[in-house]
Structure 1
Amino acid sequence: MDFGAHGARGTDGDTEVDFRVLGPVEVLDRSTGAYVAPAGSKQRALLGALVVRAGHVLSAERLIHELWGDRPPASAVNALQAHVARLRRLLQDGAPDGAGQSWIATRTTGYLLRPGRATTDAQRFHRLSAEGRARLGSDPEHAAELLRGALALWRGPALEGSAQGPICTVEADRLEELRLTTLETLYDANLRSGRHAEVLWELERLTAGHPMRERLYDLQMLALYRCGRQTEALGVYERARRRLVDELGVEPGPALRDRMEAILRHAPSLELPGGSAGGRLPGGVPEAGCLVPERSGGPDGVAGGTDGEALRELGLEIARLGARIESLSREQEALIRRFRLLAPAGPGG
C-alpha cells in the first residue's frame, strides 16, 4: 500500500482519515469518530482493491475481473462506472471538509485511489510489529506491549467481505501471514519475559488451530519445559512430527529437532535469561500451573555415553510414551464419568 504525502490533516498535524483493512473495509474520520463502509459486496471489493493498490492506476479490465471474476456481465464497463460513482459519493459524504472529492481519480486507462496523507491500519500494524521485533532481544516486555498493540488493530479477517478477487485475496493472505508471524513473536516475547505458565494454554489452542506452523510447536515445547513438563514437551514434538509427515510428507525442520534435543539434554539455553529456572519460584516452590522438572540419569538428564542418534531415538520413545499416557488418562476419565452416570444411586439417594 503506497500512501502518498498530501491530503486531509488535522490541526495538530495528525492525519484525520484512516482507511481500515484489518477487518471489514471502511474509512474512519478520526476527528469525529464517524466511519463509512460500503454496503454491497461489489462496493466493498472495489474499495478494497483501490486501497490495496493505492497510488497506482488499476485498469477497468482488472477491476472488472476483481468484481465479477471470469464471468462478467455484458454491461460490466457501465456497471463498474456506476460502482465507482457510488463509491465516490460515499467517500465524499463521509470525508471531512469534502476531501472525499479527490479520493478516487479517473485516468484514461482506469482508476486510482489518491490517499494523500490518509493512513491505513495496516501501516500502523507493520510499524508496531517492526518496532516490537527490534525490541525483542533487549526489552522483551516492551516488545510484547508493542506487538499486542499491533494485533489489537485487527477487527476480523483482513479485507473481510472484499476478498473475492485476486488483488484483495493475495493481500488478505499476505496480511494474515504477517499477523500469525507477529503472534508468534508476541509469544516469544512472553516466554523471554518468564510468562511460560501464563501463555501455555493459549499456545496449545494456537497449535491446534494452526497445525502446520512449526514455530508454534517450538514455543509450546519451550513453555512446557519451563513448566517442568519435559515429557509433555517431547510429546508435542512427536504430535507435530506425525502431523507434518501425514499432511505434508516432511519431517520437522532443524529448529524443531534442535529444540527436542535441547529438551532431552536440559540444555542451559532453555532456561530463562539471567539463569533462573523455569517452573520454580524462589525457594524451589513450583510455580502455579507448573510441575516440578523431571531429571534423571546423568547431569544432563540422560545416561552418559550416548551418541546423537541414540539420544534422538530415546527422545522419540519418551514422546510416544507420554502421548500414550495422555490418551489412556483421557480414556480413564471418560470411563469414570460414564460409570458415575450409570451407577445406581446409594441408600442416601
Structure 2
Amino acid sequence: MKFRILGSVQVLDERTGILMVPAGAKQRALLGALVVKAGHVVSADLLVDELWGEHPPANAANALQAHVARLRRLLPVPLPGSGEPHHEWLATRPLGYVLRLGDADTDARHFHRLAAEGRDLARTDPGRSAEVLRRALALWRGPALEGSGRGAICSVEASLLEESRIVALESLYDACLQAGRAGEITGELEKLTASHPLRERFYELLMTALYQCGRQAEALRVYDRARRRLVHDLGVEPGPVLRGRMEAVLYHQDPAAARPVVSPATGPAPAPAADDGPSVRLLHTELASLRRHVERLTREQQDLVCRLEALTAAHAAGS
C-alpha cells in the first residue's frame, strides 16, 4: 500500500494495481491531512477547520463523521482467501482520528529518503547522486496535495514539500555539474529560471553550466536577466553568491566554473586558435561589451550602496 500526496491525493494498492482516488475536495482534504499526520491523532476540531475553514456547517461533527465513514469504505480490506489480517487504517480515538500506516508507505517519505541518499552520494559519486535524485523527483505527479483545499495542515505541508522539491532540484543539477554533464542540463535550467524567476540558485547553476559548455557570453546574459528581474520585482540586487559567480565567469577566476566538459565520444575540446575567423572575433567583441556592461552595473550597485549608507547615517543622526 502506498499513500500518495506528491500530486493529487491517491491510495495505490500495489497488490492489485488498483488506484483509489477520493471523490470531492472534502474527501481529498480529509485523507491528505490524515496522511500528513500519519501515526498521530488529529483532533476533530482541526479536521473540521481543514474541511470547512471559517464556515463549518451547523452539524460539523456529524458531517465529519460521515466523511470519515466514506473514507473508511474507500480504503482497501484484505483480499478474500489471502490470509492477511484485517488492518484498521483509520482508527477513532477520544479526541479525533489517526491514520495507521502499518507496513504501508507514503510517496512523500519515499521521496525524502531518496533525496537524502542522493545528497549523501554527491561528494563521492556525483553521477550516482544525480541518478538517485532523479528517481526521487520522478515520484512527483504534480503540485503536492493538489486539489485538497486550503486548510492549514495541507497548505503548510504542500509548501514544505515544494521547498524540498526545489532543494532536491538544486542538488540534482549541482551533482550533474560535478559529474561533467553540463551540456545535458542547460535546457532544463533555462525552464527552471523561467518558472522560478526569483530563485537565484537556478540562475547560478545555469551560468555555471553555460560557462562549462564554453558559452561565456550567454552565461553573462543570464546574470543580466536575473539582475533585471530581481530589481524589477523585489527592488534588490543579486546576492553575493550570484554576483560572485558572475565575476568568476567574467574573469575566469573560479576553477569550478571553468571545469571543462568532456564528451565521451570526442574527448576534451581543443583550445581555440588565436584567431579562427570572423565568428571568433565577433564573440570576443561581444564578450568585451558584456564585460563593460557588467562592470558598469557593478559600479552602479556600489554607488547605490554608498548612497543608502549615507542616507541611513543621516537619518540616524537626525533622529
Question: Do the structures match in fold with TM over 0.5?
Answer: yes
Which structure 2 residues correspond to residues 1-349 of structure 1 after superposition, within 5 A? 17-93=1-77, 102-267=88-253, 268-272=255-259, 276=260, 281-282=267-268, 284=270, 315-317=294-296
SS at match of 1:82: helix
| 3-state DSSP of counterpart to 2:92 | strand
Residues 125 and 150 in structure 1, CA contact (< 8 A), matched pair in contact too: yes
Checking the alignment, whether the CA contact within 8 Å between 1:229 and 1:294 is kept in structure 2 is no
Q: State the aligned residue count.
A: 285
Q: CA deviation at 1:181?
A: 1.1
Q: Would you say the 8 A contact 1:20–1:121 is kept in 2?
A: yes
Amino acid at match of 2:117: E
Secondary structure, aligned partner of 2:140? coil
1:3-50 deviations in Å (ceiling 9; x for gaps):
xxxxxxxxxxxxxx1111111111112222222221121111100000
Query: Using the alignment, how far apart are the partners of 2:280 and 2:83 within structure 1?
Result: 64
Structure 1 position 292, deviation (Å): 7.4
- The RMSD of aligned alpha carbons is 2.9
Letter in 1 for 2:137: L
1-side partners of 2:22 and 2:262: how far apart? 51
Please state how far the C-alpha of 1:277 moved relative to its aligned partner. 5.6
Are 2:6 and 2:145, in contact at CA under 8 Å, matched by a contact in 1?
Answer: yes
8 Å CA contact 1:228–1:294 kept in 2: the answer is: no
**Maintained 8 Å contact 1:262/1:270:** yes
- Using the alignment, how far apart are the partners of 1:59 and 1:52 within structure 2? 13
CA distance in 1, matches of 2:86, 2:292: 65
Deviation of the 1:198 alpha carbon: 1.9
Alignment deviations for residues 260-305 of structure 1 (CA, whole Å, 9 cap, x no partner): 1111121223132xxx46799535189xxxx9799979xxx99xxx
Task: Write the distance in 2 (CA, Å) between the matches of 1:90 and 1:283.
Answer: 59
User: Counterpart of 1:102 in 2: which secondary structure?
Assistant: coil
Contiguous gaps of at least 5 residues in structure 1? 1-16, 303-310, 320-349
Does the 8 Å CA contact 1:42/1:67 hold for their aligned counterparts?
A: yes
Percent pairwise identity: 59
CA positional deviation for 1:83? 0.4
Q: Take 1:175 and 1:125, find their aligned partners in 2: how far apart are those partners? A: 10
SS, match of residue 147 in structure 2: coil
**3-state secondary structure, aligned to 1:112:** strand
Shift of 1:241: 1.3
Pair 1:179–1:277, CA change in 2 (3 A): closer
Cα gap change, 1:317 to 1:194, in 2 (>3 Å): farther
Q: Distance in 1 between matches of 2:104 and 2:125?
A: 32
**Structure 2 residues not aligned, in runs of 5+:** 273-278, 299-319
Would you say the 8 A contact 2:118–2:129 is kept in 1?
yes
